[in-house]
Amino acid sequence: MKTPDKSREANPVPAAPADWDLRLYVAGATPKSAAAFRNLEQICEEHLAGRYHIEVIDLMNQPQLAQGDQILALPTLVRKSPVPIRKIIGTLSNTERVLIGLDLLSNDGDERTEGKRVC
């Protein structure tokens, strides 16, 4: 039987950061829908690497799902978690606006740190 590595016992692995649950509502395979997904994926990889899940909901196929998150325009990104829920409308091409909308960047341009909230 293999003995545990002492260095691993001395340095416990920190708890995993909170997962980000994101929904992107689109209307078919349009250029705007593709751009929104591409932009969101790039932002998530850069700022939330390994800590996010994106669910793409095509309202052309499932229009009834628009009511649950009160979707009025497309494409729309909904941050389901962490709470509070936030919505961003558009192709998500303005990275700074998206980061502020997701609460990853403060209005003065400073990146927020995990667990720190600025009101």
Could you say which DSSP state residue 108 is in? T
| Runs of H (alpha helix) within 1-119 | 6-10, 31-47, 95-101
Domain contains 115: no
Domain contains 109: no
What mean pLDDT comes out for the span 66-71?
92
Domain contains 40: yes
User: Does an H or E element contain 25, and which?
Assistant: strand 20-26
Q: What is the mean pLDDT of the chain?
A: 83
Number of compact structural domains in the chain: 1
- pTM higher than the cut 0.85: no
* Domain extent at residue 67: 20-101
Percent of the chain residues topping a pLDDT of 70? 74
pLDDT in tens, 76-108: 999 999 999 999 999 999 999 999 999 998 776
CATH, residue 90:
3.40.30.10
